[in-house]
Amino acid sequence: MLGVDTIVLCEGDVIGKPRDAAEAEQMLEKLSGKTHEVVSGLCLRTPAWEELHRDVTLVTFRPLTPGDVAFYLASGEWEGRAGAYAIQGLGGSLVERIEGDYLNVVGLPGALLVRLLAEHGLR
């Protein structure tokens, strides 16, 4: 069994999934021009063993204009996304750079998962 959940941390604040467009707008404005952490918790469990880990990726947003934010909000892509963006879609245009596992930002810490499976002899 595999369970994963992701949050965003910016300036000490936990940023989860926005409830509505107004909250998404506030989140995007907070992330604008800043580096934040994308943290995913991963639990991998079998009848024989359990692994519980986290992975952190640093994401830097470019400075966003009000027009950038309005365009992204209109796309609806922010819905159900930690930090109100999806890097694998239009949200990628908000990002200046990342440090770490891209797939972690998408929502599944792929490098961590592959490493854990390999450590247990699973390929």
CATH label of the domain that carries residue 85 = 3.90.950.10
% residues pLDDT > 90 (the chain): 98
> How many CB atoms are closer than 10 A to CB 72?
23
The confidence score (pLDDT) of residue 17 equals 96
pLDDT single digits (tens) 44-103: 999 999 999 999 999 999 999 999 999 999 999 999 999 999 999 999 999 999 999 999
**What amino acid is encoded at 52 in this protein?**
L
Number of domains in the chain: 1
- The question of whether 13 is a catalytic residue gets the answer no
pLDDT band, residue 123 (cuts 50/70/90): confident
pLDDT band, residue 25 (cuts 50/70/90): very high
Q: What is the mean pLDDT of residues 114-119?
A: 94
Instruction: Report the mean per-residue pLDDT for the chain.
Output: 96
**What amino acid is encoded at 64 in this protein?**
L
Q: Which has the closest alpha carbon to 39: 56, 59, 51?
A: 56
Q: Which has the closest alpha carbon to 107: 21, 19, 60, 41?
A: 41
| Residue 46 domain boundaries | 2-119
CA atoms 91, 97, 102, 104: torsion sign: negative
The confidence score (pLDDT) of residue 13 equals 96
Angstrom CA distances, 2 to 57, 62, 109, 113, stand at: 20, 33, 12, 9
